[in-house]
């Protein structure tokens, strides 16, 4: 039997984040990947690798979602970078075409302030129109602070509290990723499942942020849920895949290396 997983995300041309990562992750975990492109990000090598950002026209987002959702019966979707209020409206309308078992939201808050334009409007629209629809949310440290209204996250209990506060805004499950910003020797992710918090912890590998870790984690959770895994098993597999992918990270002429999804085998 083939399981389908669907991503609604942006292209990042170097292959280190976004749509490209989602499809690689889906393939590596044995699910059939499908996707709708929301925007095109091209880093600028002549300007400190800053983001050049082009949104996809809302009509084209509608058309892509229509094609995907008519071609297959899909009940599991990952939402990555949306990037513009009009994109968010188009995606919300497209999601409303049908019911979903799993909507995994990586709440990309405008790439940490790197996109010009309607950044605050975009973040507000994401919180108001997409977060309430999500069944799973995977905020990073910065996004968790913003969405939970917390200044900093210093303990596992803080990560759990952020998860609890974000769950009140819609998602049944929240995975707060401590990442490189969380103090201490370990990379800690905490799953808040509505009842209790579970910490997934491994020693940090290096001191540098590795591009694509967040996209890989959310895409892997999506793939596992598409195969019928429960959330705890999905997060465990996703964490193993990210850890293996960071250990085998791929260097580039960019100032950061990227996760190698191919390093993980189930
Ligand atoms: O932060 C993750 C991310 C997601 N999607 C796209 C991106 C990035 C970061 O650069 O470019 C398209």
Best residue for ligand 1 mutational test, from 108, 113, 213 (most atoms within 8 Å of Cβ): 108
Tens digit of each residue's pLDDT (9 = 90 or more) over 87-136 = 999 999 999 999 999 999 999 987 455 555 568 889 999 999 999 999 99
The tokens of 61 are what?
């987002």
Q: Using a 6 Å CB cutoff, which residues line ligand 1?
A: 9-12, 17-18, 41, 80-81, 108, 111, 214-215
What percent of the chain has pLDDT above 70? 97
- Interior angle at CA 21, CA 260 and CA 27, nearest 5: 85
Q: Say what the pLDDT of residue 113 is.
A: 52
The tokens of 50 are what?
């800053």
pLDDT of residue 234 exceeding 60, the answer is yes
Q: Say what the pLDDT of residue 121 is.
A: 87
Domain extent listing, the chain: 4-255
Q: Say what the pLDDT of residue 111 is.
A: 45
Span from the CA of 140 to the centroid of ligand 1 (angstroms) = 13
Q: Which fold is adopted by the domain 4-255? A: 3.40.1190
Region 221-238: mean pLDDT is 98
Tens digit of each residue's pLDDT (9 = 90 or more) over 27-36 = 999 999 999 9
Instruction: Give the residue from 148, 107, 101 showing the smallest Cα distance to 130.
Output: 107
Instruction: Give the atom of ligand 1 at the shortest distance from the alpha carbon of 40.
Output: 12
Span from the CA of 110 to the centroid of ligand 1 (angstroms) = 8
Q: How far apart are CA 52 and CA 40, in angstroms?
A: 8
Residue 163 has phi, psi (to 5 degrees) of -60, -45
Tens digit of each residue's pLDDT (9 = 90 or more) over 160-199 = 999 999 999 999 999 999 999 999 999 999 999 999 999 9
Residue 261 has phi, psi (to 5 degrees) of -65, -30
Best residue for ligand 1 mutational test, from 20, 115, 215 (most atoms within 8 Å of Cβ): 215
Instruction: Give the atom of ligand 1 at the shortest distance from the alpha carbon of 18.
Output: 5
Q: Say what the pLDDT of residue 112 is.
A: 52
pTM: 0.97
Best residue for ligand 1 mutational test, from 13, 16, 18 (most atoms within 8 Å of Cβ): 18
Q: What secondary structure letter does DSSP report for 6? A: E
Q: Say what the pLDDT of residue 256 is.
A: 94
11 touches 40 (CB < 8 A): yes
pLDDT of residue 235 exceeding 70, the answer is yes
Q: What secondary structure letter does DSSP report for 181? A: G
Burial 212-235 (b: 16+ CB within 10 A, else e): bbbbbbbbbbbbbbbbebebeebb
Q: Mean pLDDT across the chain, nearest whole number?
A: 95
Q: Say what the pLDDT of residue 1 is.
A: 87
CA distances 110 to 32, 83, 85, 174, 204, Å, are 28, 6, 11, 19, 25
Ligand 1: which residue has its CA nearest to atom 11? 12
Region 41-58: mean pLDDT is 95
């Amino acid at each position: 039997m083939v399981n389908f997983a669907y991503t609604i995300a942006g292209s990042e041309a170097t292959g280190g984040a976004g749509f490209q990562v989602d499809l690689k992750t889906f393939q590596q975990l044995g699910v059939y990947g499908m996707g709708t492109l929301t925007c095109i990000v091209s880093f600028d090598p002549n300007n400190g690798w800053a983001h050049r950002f082009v949104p996809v026209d809302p009509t084209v987002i509608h058309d892509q979602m229509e094609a995907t959702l008519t071609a297959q019966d899909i009940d599991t979707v990952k939402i990555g970078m949306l990037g513009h209020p009009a994109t968010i409206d188009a995606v919300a309308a497209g999601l409303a075409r049908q019911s979903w078992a799993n909507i995994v939201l990586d709440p990309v808050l405008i790439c940490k302030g790197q996109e010009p334009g309607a950044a605050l409007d975009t973040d507000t629209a994401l919180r108001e129109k997409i977060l309430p629809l999500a069944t799973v949310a995977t905020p990073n440290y910065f996004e968790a602070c913003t969405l939970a209204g917390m200044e900093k996250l210093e303990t596992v209990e803080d990560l759990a509290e952020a998860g609890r506060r974000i769950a009140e805004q819609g998602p049944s499950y929240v995975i707060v990723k401590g990442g490189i910003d969380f103090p201490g020797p370990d990379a800690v992710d905490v799953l808040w499942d509505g009842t209790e918090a579970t910490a997934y912890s491994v020693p940090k590998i290096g001191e540098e942020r590795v591009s694509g870790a967040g996209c890989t984690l959310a895409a892997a959770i999506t793939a596992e849920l598409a195969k019928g895994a429960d959330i705890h098993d999905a997060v465990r597999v996703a964490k193993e895949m990210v850890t293996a992918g960071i250990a085998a990270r791929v260097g580039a002429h960019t100032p950061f290396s990227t996760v190698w999804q191919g390093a993980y085998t189930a």
